[in-house]
Amino acid sequence: MNQVAFLKYENGGKRMLNNQSPLDLIWPNANCTLTPYEIFTSKEIFELEQEKIFRGPVWNYLGFEAEIPKHGDFITCWVGTTPIVVSRNEDKSISAFVNRCAHRGAQVVRDVRGSAKFHTCVYHQWMYNTEGDLESVSLHRGIKTKEGFKGGYPKDFDKRHHCLQKMRVDTHSGMIFGTFSEETIPLIDYLGPVVAERIKFITRDGDINIGGYHRHTIKCNWKMMAENSRDMYHAPQLHHVFQHFGVLTNEDTGSVETFDKGQVQITGYAKRTEKGDAISKSSVELKDPRITRWQDDRDGMTLSVSNVFPNGLLTIVNNNLSMRQLRPKGPDRLELFYTWFSYKDDDEEMTEMRRFQRNAFGPSGLVAAEDALVFEMIQASIQAGSVSDDQQALLMMGGTGTESTDYYATEASIRGFYKQYIDLMGFEVAKPKVAAE
Ligand code: FES
Ligand SMILES: [Fe+2]
C-alpha cells in the first residue's frame, strides 16, 4: 500500500499528495483570503472549469446586438473553450449555437463575422439556418443509379434531431448573453441591480456604434484577468502612467460594489482640470496628452469596471469604452477579446479621442501590456514550482469580507469571485483549525 502524505494548509486544510488528483483539492479557507496556486496550472482543474463554470449555471457574455443588426448577421466567439456562433434570425430574435457540425464535428462557420442566411459545412455540405437548425444534408437519398437510389440516410432520419447544439440566449441593454444550463436564473437577477443599471448607463441602453476589435493572447490562466479586473488598487501601483499623469492615483476616490454571483462593479473618480486633462504632479510631460484626456459624458465618472462572472468585462477608462470577453485556451493561455464601442451622437473630436485612447489597451496597449507582463510573470513563476511547494496567494487587502466598500484599496471582490468559483466547482473547504488543547 502506498504511503499517504498530506499537504497541510495553515488552517488545517490538507489533501493527499500520493495518488492525488488536483480535483481532490481542498480550498484553504472559506473566506477566500488564500488561493492555491494549483488552480492556475492544473489541466484537470481547467477541464472541470469548462464543465462546472462555462457550461454551468452562469450567463456568459457573447456580444452586442449592435454587431448583428440584420437577419443573417453573425459573429463568432467562445464560451470557455467552446466555439460559438451568435446570429440574428428573421423574426429579429437572436440564436447562439456551438460551431461544430452535428455530422462529424467540422467547424461550420469559418468567418469571424459576416452575414449569411444559411451556413454550410465544408466537409459534406450539411446546411444550417440562422437558428442552428439542420435545413438539408447532401445525398440524403444516396447516389442515383439505374436501379434507384443507393446509400443515403435511413427513412426515419429526422433532420430535427441533428441541429447544432443551442444555448439559451437573453439580452440586457443591447448586450447578448448565453447559457448552456437550464438551471441558470433569469439574466436580470443574475446581473444584479447595480451591474444591470451600470450596463444600461454605459451602453446607453444599447444605443451604440461598434468601433472595432482587439485580440490579445496572454500566456496566463484566465483567472488572472478575472482577479485583475476586480482589483482597482493595482492600477496606480503597476501602471505608472496612471499615477504619474493623474489617470488614477493613490489619492483618488472610488468604490467597490460586489454581488453574490461574483459580479462586481468598481468605480473611480480621478481629479481633472476643467478641460478634462488629468492633474499630474509629475515633472514628466506626455508628448500627446490625449491618452489621459477626458470629456465628461458619464456624470463625472472617469473609470468604471463591471465584471459579469465568468467571462464579461465592461470597462471605461477616460473616454475608452470597451467590453471584453475572456476566452480561456488552456491552463496557461488566455485570449482577451475587446469590442470597442462609441455613442451615436459622438462628434468628430470625440470619435477621434476614443479611437486614440484605445492605444492604452489591446496587445500593444501601453497599459494592457503591463498587466499582461505581470500575468506572464506570475504564470511562469508558479509553474516553475510544484504542488508540494504548498504555496498560496494572499488576498487580505481590505480585510476578509466580500462586502461593498466606499474605497477601492480592497481585494473584497476577488474574494467574492473565488467564493462563487469554489461553489460552482464543488471544492471542499478546509475547516477552521481547532486550537490545540
Ligand atoms: S462534418 Fe459537417 S457535413 Fe460532415
Ligand atoms: Fe491593469
pLDDT in tens, 185-224: 999 999 999 899 999 999 999 999 999 999 999 999 999 9
Neighbours of ion ligand 2 (CB under 5 A): 371
Nearest ligand 1 atom to the CA of 101 is 2
Looking at residue 2, its pLDDT comes to: 38
Looking at residue 294, its pLDDT comes to: 86
For ligand 1, say whether the CB of 103 is within 6 Å of any of its atoms. yes
For ligand 1, say whether the CB of 106 is within 6 Å of any of its atoms. yes
Looking at residue 45, its pLDDT comes to: 96
Q: Is the pLDDT of residue 386 over 70?
A: no
Give 286's pLDDT tier (boundaries 50, 70, 90). Answer: confident
Please give the Cα distance from 247 to 143 (Å, whole number).
68
43 Cα–ligand 2 center, Å: 26
Fill in the amino acid letter for 192: G
| Cell numbers placing 151 | 446509400
Looking at residue 341, its pLDDT comes to: 97
Please give the Cα distance from 375 to 282 (Å, whole number).
27
Lowest-confidence pick of 120-134, 316-330, 351-365, 423-437: 423-437
Looking at residue 1, its pLDDT comes to: 39
In the block, cell 489541466 appears at 43
Please give the Cα distance from 177 to 198 (Å, whole number).
16
Q: Is the pLDDT of residue 68 over 60?
A: yes
Give 3's pLDDT tier (boundaries 50, 70, 90). Answer: very low
Query: Which of 85, 99, 104 is the best mutation target for the ligand 1 pocket, counting ligand atoms within 8 Å of the beta carbon and taking the most?
Result: 104
Q: Which residues, listed in sequence order, are joined to residue 61 by a DSSP beta bridge? A: 177
43 Cα–ligand 1 center, Å: 29
Give 11's pLDDT tier (boundaries 50, 70, 90). Answer: very low
Please give the Cα distance from 208 to 316 (Å, whole number).
14
For ligand 1, say whether the CB of 109 is within 6 Å of any of its atoms. no
Q: Is the pLDDT of residue 320 over 60?
A: yes
Please give the Cα distance from 142 to 150 (Å, whole number).
5
Fill in the amino acid letter for 311: N
Give 244's pLDDT tier (boundaries 50, 70, 90). Answer: confident
| Cell numbers placing 380 | 511562469
Kindly state the helix (H) or strand (E) to which residue 46 belongs, with its residue range: helix 43-49
pLDDT tens profile 392-422: 899 999 999 999 999 989 999 999 999 999 9
For ligand 1, say whether the CB of 162 is within 6 Å of any of its atoms. no
96 Cα–ligand 1 center, Å: 19
Residue nearest to atom 4 of ligand 1 (CA): 124
Looking at residue 5, its pLDDT comes to: 41
Please give the Cα distance from 385 to 149 (Å, whole number).
63
Cα 223 to Cα 76, 157, 173, 220, 303: the distances in Å are: 22, 44, 26, 8, 22
Cα 23 to Cα 33, 416, 425, 426, 428: the distances in Å are: 20, 21, 9, 9, 10
Q: Would you say 360 and 291 are in contact if contact means Cβ atoms under 8 Å apart?
A: yes
The radius of gyration of the chain from alpha carbons, rounded to an integer in Å, stands at 24
For ligand 1, say whether the CB of 123 is within 6 Å of any of its atoms. yes
| pLDDT mean across residues, the chain | 90
Looking at residue 15, its pLDDT comes to: 53
208 Cα–ligand 1 center, Å: 37
Phi, psi of 197 (to 5 degrees): -70, -40
Looking at residue 82, its pLDDT comes to: 98
* 31-35, 62-66, 350-354, range with greatest mean pLDDT: 62-66
Tell me the whole-structure pTM to 2 decimals: 0.92
Q: Cα 34 to the chain's mean position, in Å?
A: 22
Q: What average pLDDT score do residues 317-344 get?
A: 96
Residue closest to 85 by CA, chosen among 142, 174, 163: 163
